Structures are given as structure tokens and as C-alpha cells.
A and B are shown apart, each in its own frame.
Chain A
Amino acid sequence: MLPLAYNLEFSVVTDLALAVLLGFGFGYCLERAGFGSARKLTAVFYLHDKAVVKVMFTAIVTTMVGLFLLSSAGVLALSDLYIEPTSYAAQLLGGLVFGAGFVIGGYCPGTSVTGIATGKKDAMVFAVGMLAGVMAYAEFTPGIESWIAATSQGELTLPTLTGIGMGWWTAAFVVFLFLAARGMEWLERRFAHLRPPHHPH
């Protein structure tokens, strides 16, 4: 039955209208969480405000539970969903570089749009920097693409890697989320002295 796009032939206009609609929910949530503010986003790395981890982790676990329930009900086959192939080397190296850009620049690609929408000039400059970065990658280092392909392990999920089913992993992540929530509250109290007086909350 799902995904809808596999069963209904969307016109280009319908397809792009759906993108705008889903994007609206995406941007609304990000702004509501405080992710239009670079100080709120980077606060996670100074331990006094873990909102970034709370929102991301809760979202991931919510979707995971939803996907598991839909697939258990036979409404959605997980194998139908697009999975980015894993390359340990590429995701490790890319992640290290990306993390540096995040804490230096204050945004990530999606949240920069949230920042721009609420008038943050630094978010606009970040987005221009991103465009320059994407352009530089394509023009000067296109060879990295073949290195990524060469180091690829193909589609790899925790269930296929470990032989432990999606249901068990989902249950484990739910438990982990509750434990992590308690740990984060403790961290925020412990490092409350690092919170600047006018920190957005």
C-alpha cells in the first residue's frame, strides 16, 4: 500500500506540492524547537542545553517505531524504502568534517533555512558558504565520488549486520531514549553555570 508514490502516479505539480507541504511541517517543527538560533543549536556542544539531541533522538525513535508498526501491519515493506549505501570511511570522514562545519558555522543545511526565515543574517551567510562548498566539491574534488563508491559496503542496516530483528532494535532504542533523557537532564543541571544569561529557551 505504502509508499503512496509507488502506487499512484503523481504529476510533477502534485509531487512538488507534497514537497512544500511536508517541508512546511519540517520547518515549523525546527523553528518551534529553537533551531532557527545558532546559539541554541551549538549549546548542545557546551552541555548546558541538550535540546538538539532531545529533538533529534525523539524524532528518530518516533519514526523508527512508526516504520516498525507499519511494516508489522503489512502496510509498508521496509525493503521498498530508499537506503543510502554505507561506506564506513566516507561517513566517518564526512561526519568529522561536517561536525566541524556545524560548530564553527552554527547551523546545518536544514536549520540554516529556519534561521534565514526568521531573519538571521549569519544563517544567510552560512547558506552562501554551503553553496560555495558544494560548488568547490563538484569542481575541484569530483574524484571523491569514485572513492566513496569504491569503499561502499552497499545497503547495510543494524538488523542485517547483527541478525537481530528491527523490533528488538526499536525496543532497545525506546529504552535508550528514556535513559538518555534522564542523563541529559542531569547534564543540563550539572553544566547550568555555562548557560549565558540571555540564552534562548
Chain B
Amino acid sequence: MSGAITHPLPGPGAIGSQRSAAKAYWNPYFVGFLLGLVLLATFAVTGRGLGATGAFSSVAAWFAGVFSPEHVVANPVHSRYWNEGDPLLSWTIFLLIGAFIGALVSGLQGGRVGLSIERGPRVSDRTRLILAFSGGFIAAFGAKIAKGCTSGQALSGGSMLNVGSLVFMGAVFLSAYVLAYFVRKEWI
């Protein structure tokens, strides 16, 4: 037996065809170490950790303020992101602007930038996009109830041994592992 094993070439379209030219990701423990240093620097500079959901809350407050600033000030959720009339000058929005640029640079270096829809081979693009919208809606709601997301609670709170953050992490993984079975066609 000669040892020549041939793999089928990646089919076009179905699952992110630009992958074939992409470079490999970095070792996860190494990236984790770097991400930890970024988080540590954020604590050292600002006294708080990283966050992401706050930026979406700020944009929502801004959007609601376009129609009625009085309503935003009176609303117990929006009002905390009103920033005295400048909701878009939020620290977290600028953090995510930086994150966008950083991800774009990394993606360009790795040959991983190009329009695509991430999904498994057994769902249509349309189904995937409907599920993406629904998932975003649900995740946002959960993050608002939990007072943080993977960045604010899990990463930032976890590294400070915040008890609520550890409870949050446990709940996220419990819920996602159980539900994963039911949405498996979306991914594998």
C-alpha cells in the first residue's frame, strides 16, 4: 500500500470557501495569554475590565433619544447610558471600534477577510440568518439580566474571582451544552 491519502477538495460556497487560503490560527493558550495581558492592562489603566454589551446599550439609548430624549432620561435602563446627552461618546463603543480595527488587521494578515455566512452544511443561508438574529436578541436579553456578557462577566469578573461572574459562566455553559443538541444541524 502506498501511503498516498487524498482528501476531497473543499467544495465552493457551502462552508466558507475562503478558508482554503487562510493561515492557521494561533495556539489558543498563547492567544489566551496575550488576551489576559490586554485585560490586565485595561484594569491597570482604567480600574475596570473589558466589556462589550454596554456599547449596544449606548447605541440603543442614542437611537431612542433621536425620537424622545425625555423618554430616555425617564427610562431606568436607557438613562444609565445617556451620558448627559452624548450616548455615543461611550468608552465601550470606542473599545469596540478598536476591536473592529484589531480584528480586521489580524484577519487581513491571516487571509481571513471576505464576505461569507458561517453555518454548517445542513442549513440554508436564510435559516442561519434568522437564527443569528434570534440568537443575538436572546443573548442581549440574557446579558442585560446578568449585568454583563462573556467580556464583562466571564473574562473581567472571572479574573477578579467575582462570585456572580463564576455563576454566570457556569450557567452559560450549562445552557449552551444542553441546547447544542437541538441546534446541531445549524453547526455540524
Q: Which residue of B lies closest to A45 (CB)?
A: B180
Q: Decide: B43 and A81 in contact? CB cutoff 8 A.
A: yes
Q: Out of B25, B63, B179, name the residue touching A99 (CB < 8 Å).
A: B179
Count residues on chain A whose CB falls below 8 Å from chain B CBs: 130
CB distance from A95 to the nearest CB of B (A): 3
Task: Give the distance in Å from the alpha carbon of A130 to the alpha carbon of B110 in the complex.
Answer: 28
Q: Decide: A19 and B33 in contact? CB cutoff 8 A.
A: no
Q: Is A192 among interface residues, defined by CB-CB distance under 8 A?
A: no
Q: Decide: B25 and A109 in contact? CB cutoff 8 A.
A: no
Task: Give the distance in Å from the alpha carbon of A37 to the alpha carbon of B150 in the complex.
Answer: 16
CB distance from A93 to the nearest CB of B (A): 6
Question: Contacts A63-B36, A63-B43 hold; do A84 and B179 have CB atoms under 8 A apart?
Answer: no
Chain A 53-84 interface residues, beta-carbon cutoff 8 Å to B? 54-64, 66-67, 70, 76, 78, 80-84
Count residues on chain B whose CB falls below 8 Å from chain A CBs: 129
Number of A-B contacts (CB under 8 A): 531
Q: Is B121 among interface residues, defined by CB-CB distance under 8 A?
A: yes
Question: Contacts A84-B164, A92-B167, A157-B163 hold; do A118 and B140 have CB atoms under 8 A apart?
Answer: no
Chain A 113-145 interface residues, beta-carbon cutoff 8 Å to B? 113-123, 125-139, 142, 144-145
Q: Out of B25, B50, B134, name the residue touching A33 (CB < 8 Å).
A: B25
Which residues from chain B contact A57 at a C-beta distance below 8 Å?
Answer: 32
Choose among B35, B43, B94 the residue with the greatest number of A CB atoms under 10 Å from its CB: B35
Task: Give the distance in Å from the alpha carbon of A158 to the alpha carbon of B167 in the complex.
Answer: 11
Question: Contacts A105-B134, A125-B136, A142-B76 hold; do A95 and B172 have CB atoms under 8 A apart?
Answer: yes
Where chain B touches its partner, the secondary structure class is helix
Q: Is B152 among interface residues, defined by CB-CB distance under 8 A?
A: yes
Q: Decide: B107 and A129 in contact? CB cutoff 8 A.
A: no
Contact flags B47-69 to A (C-beta < 8 A → 1, else 0): 11110110111011101100000
Q: Out of B103, B145, B153, name the residue touching A28 (CB < 8 Å).
A: B103
Task: Give the distance in Å from the alpha carbon of A139 to the alpha carbon of B72 in the complex.
Answer: 10
Task: Give the distance in Å from the alpha carbon of A108 to the alpha carbon of B169 in the complex.
Answer: 13
Q: Decide: B144 and A144 in contact? CB cutoff 8 A.
A: yes
Task: Give the distance in Å from the alpha carbon of A10 to the alpha carbon of B43 in the complex.
Answer: 15
Question: Contacts A115-B118, A136-B137 hold; do A26 and B104 have CB atoms under 8 A apart?
Answer: no
Task: Give the distance in Å from the alpha carbon of A136 to the alpha carbon of B75 in the complex.
Answer: 12
Q: Decide: A137 and B77 in contact? CB cutoff 8 A.
A: yes
Q: Out of B15, B45, B92, B105, name the residue touching A3 (CB < 8 Å).
A: B45
Q: Decide: B145 and A94 in contact? CB cutoff 8 A.
A: yes
Q: Decide: A142 and B75 in contact? CB cutoff 8 A.
A: yes
CB distance from A186 to the nearest CB of B (A): 16
Task: Give the distance in Å from the alpha carbon of A160 to the alpha carbon of B97 in the complex.
Answer: 36
Choose among A23, A36, A102 the residue with the greatest number of B CB atoms under 10 Å from its CB: A23
CB distance from B174 to the nearest CB of A (A): 7
Q: Decide: B145 and A99 in contact? CB cutoff 8 A.
A: no
Residues of A near any B CB (own CB < 8 A): 2-6, 12, 15-34, 36-40, 42-43, 45-46, 51, 54-64, 66-67, 70, 76, 78, 80-88, 90-123, 125-139, 142, 144-146, 148, 153, 156-159, 161, 166, 169, 181, 194, 196-198, 200-201
Q: Which 4 A-B residue pairs are closest in the complex by CB-CB distance?
A: A105-B135, A23-B98, A94-B146, A62-B36
Name 9 extra pairs, CB < 8 A, besides A39-B16, A108-B52: A2-B43, A23-B99, A67-B40, A80-B47, A104-B138, A106-B131, A107-B139, A120-B117, A122-B118
